[in-house]
Structure 1
Amino acid sequence: MNGSRPEGSGFNIRGFGANGTYGTDQQVAIVIDGVTTGSEEIYRIGTQLFTDPSLYKSVSVIRGTVGTFEFGSGIVGGVVQFETKDASDFTGGEIGLRFRQTLGYSSNGEGYHSSSILAWQPMENFEVLLNYTKRDTDAYKDGNGNLVQYTATEPYSGLAKIKYTFGDANEHGLTFSYQKTATDEFDAPYDAFNVVNFGNVNRQTESEIATLKYEYNPVDNDLIDLTVQYSYSDIYIESEPTNPGGFADYLLDGDHDYSIDKLTVKNAMFFQTGAASHDLRFGVEWISKNRLESQISPTSGSVSVPGGTDERIALFIVDDIDMGNNWTISPALRWEDQSIKGAATYQGDRYDNSALMGGISARYEFDSGLAVFASAAYTENLPILDDLSNASYMTQPEKSKTYEIGASYATSDVFTGDDSLQVKANIFVTDLWDVTSYSGIREVESSGVELELTYAMASGLYVDLNAAYGDYDSLSSTGVSADWSNAPANSARLTLGKRIGEAWDLSWEQVVAENGNKNLGGYGVSNLRATYRPQSGVLEGTEVRLGIENAFDRQYKPNLATEYATGRNFKLTLAKTF
């Protein structure tokens, strides 16, 4: 969604998550090392996910509801999980000190970035990682050569992580991590999506996440794999109008300060019951969200940032059951209880809600490599602090059900005797009702099909294809049906590549999409990439990446964007581990 600058970018999965009015609708969870963050419904400011790819070693995406009950309630679109790097990712688990420096340049916007990582492992069971990343990019030009205003960015990020394992078999583990990302804007539009002219602001945004995790996993006991984690996340947005006296000063001068404390205790067990084997995960969570109130309109008395506390207790259980006859069945349940209290303007307002939600998925795999699967899930999105001004919303959770069915096929020796093929197709149907996240909307119905294909040869040639087609409709509070305004574009992405040994990876990617209900037509964009990793000699440990994005300088605006996309952009990244 958008992406022209950090403040306006966000994730949209199957039509839910980031949108062009609020930061998010709570229906896509962003989880960093087990910490849920960046999920406030803040008007016109964006998603508040201020972070940097250099901090992470992996990102995974869960689409839909059925696999999300370990992460929260009300998740309709899905979950985006980030896992931060460890020092051992650079030391290889060996005692010593490593330093990795990355430098990058992009031609469109004259952008530069630097990422410095210090990894220290003084002993096998103790490791320390420090990272600092800085980016500086001027406003970019679109495919027609026009400067896209207010797209200059200058964020910086840092990560500190300490990990210590102990015990006879290192069955105990302690991990502490802290990360911070900040970005400053000067004389920039209050509306991060550049849609409504409320006026300009000077704005500083800071995001902090701290976690302390204890793990206990004895090697001789399959019934104990315990994790206890406390986390604290804080997002602070300080804003002031550059030209006070306008009609929306109470918005422009409204600071946002909210924090989330979370304690999670969970255990994983593996055991047999007859012919069935169970991979069982269960846990309890305590979540406390606190937000300070800021700015009351002098004319209407409305609050730009409603304050209060939202405390929740949740229990969850997920069991992956291998039936021993090619069947795998995975039931999941989550129960959540909420107490939400207003502050200042809504002081004394208190609402209590609870919900039981869950789902089940089933998969059958034939000996041929063909597998079929299906799932059904129900979830509720409990009320949020932003809706304290509407008493009816505070006792009306949003409700959603999703059904999915699909098939996958994996095989080798397809054409040449040394190749492999993987194909997966999935159909989903989702219904969201009792809607409170969108003004004037009563219900959202969506359905679609998703296709993934990967083909690879021993010679290094490979093909990746991903495609999605959906039908998204909304029903207004007056009963009028229309296209859903947050629907993602129907699209396909094809990558043709060639790996040459361990050193080279060359690829061409073609992205084709339509613009759905925005009536802007479709577009096709080509991207070229080359990666070189020397395996020996003085350059061993070096990585060189060269990319050309939008190679033919196409002028286009993605379906959920409010600005035209970046024109042709040459990108060069150099990295070296010492």
Structure 2
Amino acid sequence: MRSGSEEIYRNGSILALEPELFKEVSVTRGPSGGFRYSSSASAGTIELTTKEASDFLEDGDTFSFRQKLGYEFNGESPLATSILAFAPTDRFEALLFFGVRTSENREDGNGDEILGTEFEQSSALAKLSYQLDGASRFTFAYQQNQIPERDVNYNVFDPSIDSAFGRVDRDIEDATAYLEYEFNPEDNLLIDLTARLQFKREEVAIDPVSNPFMTDLLEADHLTETWSVVVENTARFQTANIGNELLTGLEVGRRERSSIVEVGTNDGDAPGGTDDYVALFVQNEMQIGERLIVTPAVRFEAQRLTFEDNPPTDGFGNPLVPNGTEVEDTSWTGGISAMYDLTDTFSVFATVAHNENLPIFDDANDEALLGTIEQADTVEAGLSYDGLDVFTRDDSFAAKLTVYQTLISDGRTYSAGMGRFESEIELQGVEFEASYVHPQFYIDLAAAANRGDVTELSDGTEVDDFFEQSTADNIELTLGRRMLDDQLDVFFTIDHSFENDRTDSDSGSTAPSEDYTLYDLGIGYTPNGGALAGTAFRASFENILDEDYRQYGSSRNGEGRNIILSVARTF
């Protein structure tokens, strides 16, 4: 389910996620994989898959319990998670998860405290599945994360500015629940159906501890609740010499957003109301002959924003649209990607895509924004290699080079000051990734560089400025070796970011950054037998040289040296 509330002034969109809840994180770069979920996912899509009972049950097991304990020395951060998995029959399985982690403020490479990095978090997951028959399956899941914060800086982005924004008690809660039905008969390739009823609740409740300017921002209770129904079907069939995998889907939902303050209305800097939306998407992966795959995708999305319970002006005195105002918008987005196998190992690929970003509640103080749809047009192309027995017997080598260009028009995401926005933006970039696996060792390499220029502002002014949100160039190399029948895994990572002076700012997150190199060492030991069978030991040594650095795009220094230890045992 899509996550992320809208803008919360100086807080962004705060999500509370526990990494231990997820068994898989899938990152799809570029726009080609995002039309299934959103019309605006031009940069890429991140999919998180929660753990299941079967991940902890071996053949024949009906019950298992896994306990994990961990500790990070930088920030004095302990972690404890417990997972109970059971499957009393071959049709029913259940997983229960609970975890707690806390941290004091971290320190940077200079030994200085990084304000705003302390936290306390608890997480829970219940996931139950029942197989009705060979084709039908029900799954219910409920996931919750909570982060209570006491007497912390209101300004999350730059906590050092206490006097301007004050301090607050802040409670963050992120809860997701869904009921899913899957129907996949073995004798009918045209039906692979999933229907899901889902609910999401995202809350950031704020109470002031010190409020120097007596602003409502420091007492707002931000709440976003979403109900939606998603139905998808994958049909597999053959037409002439084309193998088709046709995915169709429908999503209907309502999102209610509020930020109630003491006077009973929404905060003027976080206006709210209801968002009723519907989306249809179609994607067909076509295998044409033996070497060519073509995948067209199209998505239609319609929304109706109804503004409710808002004051007449925002916190800066700008008038908001009147309560009861309804704004309706639609978008047609889509793209086509293709991959052609030149040989059994070399392939070329390309994508052309069009994305649109519909207005949000935070545009209520500017009717021009409500009437504008931000658009992005992307072209990407590349070359990939995937081979076995390349340099020696039983090795493998894979590599991928991608170049892309994205043109953003009618931009309303990036402010240019004085009520203007960066309207026309040109982005270009190149990415390279490679992986080599030898029976004795492995090597992973990733590198990326991007550039951006702003050519026009929303008032029509033509400019030639840096797009300051472009990231610094980066290269990362990992060298690893698995030993003792894969029981022991040792890897060393070198992560280098180049200096970035492609900016006109001289302070804050977009100030020029210096180059830096981080060195990390990781060790994992999972015995296959003996008294320690079922136990996993992990040790990580991050930023070994205690480098003092600031990543471009961040207003804070990065974390200094850290040692992370964990042990997990399955019973």
* TM-score w.r.t. length of structure 1: 0.91
Give the match for residue 316 of structure 1.
281
Amino acid at match of 1:221: N
CA contact (8 A) 1:515 1:522 kept: yes
Give the match for residue 209 of structure 1.
176
Which of 472, 481, 492 matches 2:464?
481
Give the match for residue 545 of structure 1.
538
The structural deviation recorded for 1:482 is 1.9
Give the match for residue 423 of structure 1.
399
CA contact (8 A) 2:472 2:499 kept: yes
Q: How does 1:505-520 map to 2 (within 5 A)?
A: 505-516=489-500, 517=503, 518-520=511-513
Q: Distance in 1 between matches of 2:61 and 2:358?
A: 48
Give the match for residue 418 of structure 2.
none
SS in 2 for 1:393: helix
Amino acid at match of 1:321: M
Residue by residue, what CA displacement relative to the aligned partner does 1:181-226 show, whole Å, maximum 9, x if unpaired?
Answer: 0111112111111165311111111110001100000011100000
Give the match for residue 481 of structure 2.
498
Q: How does 1:6-405 map to 2 (within 5 A)?
A: 35-92=1-58, 94-167=60-133, 169=134, 171-194=135-158, 196=161, 197-244=164-211, 246-247=212-213, 249-295=215-261, 303-345=268-310, 346-405=322-381
Q: Distance in 1 between matches of 2:334 and 2:29?
A: 15
Q: Which moved more, 1:110-119 or 1:37-46?
A: 37-46
Q: 1:553 to 1:359 in 2, by over 3 A?
A: same
1:530 aligns with 2:523: yes
Q: 1:512 to 1:89 in 2, by over 3 A?
A: same
Q: Distance in 1 between matches of 2:336 and 2:6?
A: 29
The structural deviation recorded for 1:302 is 7.2
SS in 2 for 1:480: strand
Q: Distance in 2 between matches of 1:44 and 1:391?
A: 23
SS in 2 for 1:251: helix
Amino acid at match of 1:90: F
CA contact (8 A) 1:198 1:248 kept: no
Q: Distance in 1 between matches of 2:498 and 2:262?
A: 42
Q: Distance in 2 between matches of 1:567 and 1:319?
A: 47
Give the match for residue 507 of structure 2.
none
Q: Distance in 2 between matches of 1:77 and 1:296?
A: 39
Residue by residue, what CA displacement relative to the aligned partner does 1:309-364 show, whole Å, maximum 9, x if unpaired?
Answer: 11111110000000014110000000111111100233221111111111000110
Q: Which moved more, 1:193-202 or 1:228-237?
A: 193-202
CA contact (8 A) 1:533 1:543 kept: yes
The structural deviation recorded for 1:483 is 1.8
Q: Distance in 2 between matches of 1:211 and 1:243?
A: 39
Q: Distance in 2 between matches of 1:322 and 1:296?
A: 59
Q: What residue ranges of structure 1 are gaps of 5+ in the alignment?
A: 1-34
Give the match for residue 463 of structure 1.
443
The structural deviation recorded for 1:38 is 1.8
Give the match for residue 318 of structure 2.
none
Residue by residue, what CA displacement relative to the aligned partner does 1:362-419 show, whole Å, maximum 9, x if unpaired?
Answer: 1101234100000100011111111122112112111111100001011122222332
Residue by residue, what CA displacement relative to the aligned partner does 1:32-88 show, whole Å, maximum 9, x if unpaired?
Answer: xxx111242222113322010110110001112121110011112211110000011
Amino acid at match of 1:181: N
CA contact (8 A) 1:217 1:226 kept: yes
The structural deviation recorded for 1:120 is 1.0
Q: Distance in 1 between matches of 2:168 and 2:60?
A: 49
Q: Distance in 1 between matches of 2:491 and 2:97?
A: 30
Residue by residue, what CA displacement relative to the aligned partner does 1:258-281 show, whole Å, maximum 9, x if unpaired?
Answer: 111111011001000000000110
The structural deviation recorded for 1:228 is 0.3
Q: Distance in 1 between matches of 2:452 and 2:71?
A: 39
SS in 2 for 1:89: helix
CA contact (8 A) 1:557 1:564 kept: yes
Q: Distance in 2 between matches of 1:297 and 1:496?
A: 59
CA contact (8 A) 1:250 1:304 kept: no
Which of 444, 448, 452 matches 2:425?
444
Aligned-CA RMSD value: 1.6
CA contact (8 A) 1:93 1:124 kept: no
Q: Distance in 2 between matches of 1:98 and 1:405?
A: 47
4+ runs deviating over 4 angstroms: none
CA contact (8 A) 1:295 1:305 kept: no
Amino acid at match of 1:443: E
The structural deviation recorded for 1:94 is 3.4
CA contact (8 A) 1:504 1:532 kept: yes
Task: State the number of aligned residues.
Answer: 538
Give the match for residue 566 of structure 1.
559
Q: Distance in 2 between matches of 1:189 and 1:70?
A: 38
Q: What residue ranges of structure 2 are gaps of 5+ in the alignment?
A: 311-321, 416-420, 504-510
Give the match for residue 316 of structure 2.
none
Q: Which moved more, 1:416-425 or 1:122-131?
A: 416-425
Q: Distance in 2 between matches of 1:172 and 1:457?
A: 42
* TM-score w.r.t. length of structure 2: 0.92
Q: Distance in 2 between matches of 1:302 and 1:115?
A: 37
CA contact (8 A) 2:142 2:176 kept: yes
SS in 2 for 1:291: strand
